[in-house]
A and B are shown apart, each in its own frame.
Chain A
Amino acid sequence: VEITQELLKRSSLGDMLAFEELYKATSGFVYNVALNITRNCADAEEVTQDVFMKVYRNLKKFQFRSAFKTWVYRITVNTAINRYRRAKKEEQGRLDYDGVIASFPAVNCAAESAIKSDNKEVLNKLLDKLIPEYKACLILREIEGLSYQEIVAALRIPLNTVRSRLRRAREALLAAAGKV
C-alpha cells in the first residue's frame, strides 16, 4: 500500500478504513524494529500498539515536514527503547544478566521459528550486548536499510553521531563474537 497524502488526510479525519490501510503499510517495519530492539514478542506487540495509538492521536498535528515513515520510525525507536529499558529494570529485579542471556532461546511467539535459526540466535545474543541507542541505529541501517540521512531524520541526531554509533556498535559486535 502506498502512503499518499490523501490516505494520511483521510486517516487523520477518522476514516477507519484509511487508518487500517496505513497500518498495513507500516506495521511490518514497526513490529520488526520493535522486536529487534526489545527482543521480546510480547513487548514488540505492545510497542506496535503504542506506536499506532500515538500515530492515531497525533496524525492531525503531523505537518508533513518530514516523511511519514521517518516520523513513524522515530516514534517506534523511542517507544521501543523505553519499553526495553523498563523490561530490563523489571528483569534485573528477578534474574541476573547471564540468566537473561541463557533464557533467550525461549522467546515465545509466532516468530519464534524464524528467530530460532542459528544466525538469528547468534545475532540476537550479540545485539543484546549493545546499548539500545546503538542497537536502534544498527537495526535501522542493517535490517531496514535506511541511509545515513534517513537515520539522522528518524533519530534526530547529527550525522557524525550516526557514524560513530554505527562504528562503535560494529566494534562491540566484533568484540562480542571474539573477532577482535
Chain B
Amino acid sequence: LCRKIQELLKADYLDGELSQIEQGQIREHLGCCPGCRKLQEELESQRLLFKQAGRVSEVPARVWQKIRDTIISIRLNEESRARGGILERLRDSLWQPRPAFAVVSVFAVLILAVVLTGTFIRREQSLSSENEVQILAAYSLSSDNGDLIYDLGTNVEEYFL
C-alpha cells in the first residue's frame, strides 16, 4: 500500500490531480504512516523551493531589439528580392533562350549584315563614278560648267584658240 501511496504523493496528490475522495484516503493514510508522512513533508519543502525561487527575471530589452532588427532585415531582403523578381521575369520574357528563336535570330542578323554590306558597296561605287565624271569634266578644256579652273590667266590661250 505504501508503495502505491508514495507514487501518488510524488505526482497526482502533490499536483492536486486527484479527486476529493482519493485525496481524503491518502490523508487518512498519512495520519497513521510516519514513512509516507516524511516523504510528503520532503516533497512539500521541495515545492516550496520552487515557489521561493519562482520566476526569475524580466527579459532584457536587447532581446526585443534584436528580434525587431532581424525581422526588419528579413523584410528588406524580401522586398528587394520581390523587385528583382519583376525585372528578372521581364528580362526572361524578352530573352527566351529557345533554339528556334536562336536560329531565327542568327538568320536575321546575317540577312541584315548582307543587306547593309550591299548598300554600302553600291554607295561606294556610285560615289567613285561621280568622282570620275567630275575629274573628267575638270580636265575637259571645253569646261561645260563654265569654270576656268585650268585657265592660266594669260592671253596666250586666247591667242592660240
Contact = CB atoms under 8 A, between A and B. Distances in A.
Main secondary structure of the interface of B (DSSP, over half): helix
Main secondary structure of the interface of A (DSSP, over half): helix
A170 B57 contact: no
Contact of A49 (B15, B54, B70): B70
Contact of A111 (B46, B57, B66): B57
Contact of B7 (A114, A143, A167, A174): A167
A163 B87 CA distance: 59
B112 interface: no
Contacts of B62: 45
Interface string A94-134: 00000000000000011100110101101100100000000
Interface stretch (A23-31, A66-74, A75-83, A84-92): A23-31
Closest 10 CB pairs of A and B: A111-B57, A142-B50, A31-B59, A167-B10, A120-B53, A119-B52, A167-B11, A123-B53, A163-B11, A27-B59
Interface of A: 14, 16, 19-20, 23, 27-32, 35-36, 45, 48-49, 52-53, 56, 109-111, 114-115, 117, 119-120, 122-123, 126, 141-143, 147-148, 163-164, 166-167, 170-171, 173-174, 177, 179-180
